[in-house]
Amino acid sequence: MDQATERDGTAAVSPVRVAAVHFDMQVGTENRQRNIKHGLDLARRAVDDGCTLIVLPELASTGYTFTSRQEAFAHAEPVPDGDTIRCSHDAYESRSMPKHQLTATAVSPG
**pLDDT, tens digit, for every residue of 25-74?**
998 889 999 999 999 899 889 888 888 888 888 888 888 788 898 888 88
Is 56 within 8 Å of 77 (Cβ atoms)? no
Residues 31 and 41: their CA atoms lie apart, in Å, by: 15
Q: What is the mean pLDDT of the chain?
A: 78
- What percentage of the chain has pLDDT greater than the value 70? 76
pLDDT-wise least confident of 22-26, 48-52, 100-104 = 100-104
pLDDT-wise least confident of 5-14, 19-28, 54-63 = 5-14
Contacts of 58 (CB under 8 A, 6+ apart): 64
Q: Who has greater pLDDT, 61 or 3?
A: 61
Q: Give 43's strand partners.
A: none
69: DSSP letter: H
How buried is 59 (Cβ within 10 angstroms: 0-12 exposed, 13-18 middle, 19+ buried)?
Answer: middle
Is 47 within 8 Å of 54 (Cβ atoms)? yes
Residue 92, pLDDT > 80, answer: no
